[in-house]
């Protein structure tokens, strides 16, 4: 079988399948924003955006957008019945009060113990952590969507984060273009794998040792 890494939308779809009916879910900038495109069927998911849009739906295609309605990533989105627009400060009150059931964030690195880094790259002066630290500690759960390796092929799933950490020990689930990984007390448990890949090939691209599930499945691509 031909090897096939997942697209950004496919990674987002895989995490979106884990959302539970009635959840209030924040979607961070980058790949996570694509989760709102996933058809949840009968499940009612309320999407929260850092800039104050609460209760939005799929990203609008070009030519159909409302120029005054965007998510945290600046993408044009649609509203669903019952949606509301909140002041930025009120949006952060929701985040900091612990009302979020989940936040989905992007990352540069994730460690096997659930630490993650997503605000500063190596050699970069300054940097802005933005609302990531609030989301990481304010949400009940943290999922990560990211590419498995850097453009140069360096692993992003590590034993310990090398970059400045956003939050410690908060990540529960990671979707990459090579697999689905759960953070456990024993380490990173791989539940699903990209089409055509073997576990040992994914391990070669991962610094942290992987625990392979006895029920390992191929990811939908």
Residues marked as catalytic: 50
For residues 158 and 202, what is the distance between their CA atoms, to the nearest angstrom?
Answer: 13
Helices then strands, each counted (H, E), the chain: 4, 13
Greatest alpha-carbon span in the chain: 50
The phi, psi pair for 116, rounded to 5°, reads -150, 155
- Which pair of structure tokens corresponds to residue 58? 């799929």
C-beta neighbour count of 61 within 10 angstroms: 8
């Amino acid at each position: 079988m031909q090897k096939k890494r997942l697209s950004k939308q496919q990674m987002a779809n895989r995490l979106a399948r884990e959302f539970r009916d009635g959840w209030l879910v924040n979607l961070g900038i980058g790949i996570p924003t694509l989760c709102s495109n996933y058809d949840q069927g009968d499940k009612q998911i309320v999407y929260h955006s850092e800039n104050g849009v609460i209760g939005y739906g799929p990203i609008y295609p070009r030519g159909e957008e409302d120029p005054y309605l965007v998510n945290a990533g600046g993408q044009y989105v649609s509203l669903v019945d019952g949606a509301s627009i909140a002041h930025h400060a009120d949006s952060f009150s929701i985040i900091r009060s612990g009302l979020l059931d989940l936040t989905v964030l992007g990352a540069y690195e994730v460690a096997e113990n659930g630490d993650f880094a997503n605000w500063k790259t190596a050699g970069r002066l300054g940097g802005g952590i933005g609302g990531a630290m609030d989301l990481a500690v304010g949400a009940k759960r943290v999922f990560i969507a990211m590419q498995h390796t850097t453009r140069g092929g360096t692993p992003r799933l590590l034993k310990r984060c090398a970059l400045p950490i956003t939050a410690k020990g908060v990540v529960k689930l990671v979707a990459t273009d090579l697999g689905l990984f759960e953070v456990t007390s024993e380490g990173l448990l791989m539940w699903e794998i990209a089409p055509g890949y073997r576990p040992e090939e994914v391990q070669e691209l991962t610094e942290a040792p992987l625990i392979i599930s006895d029920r390992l499945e191929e990811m939908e691509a």
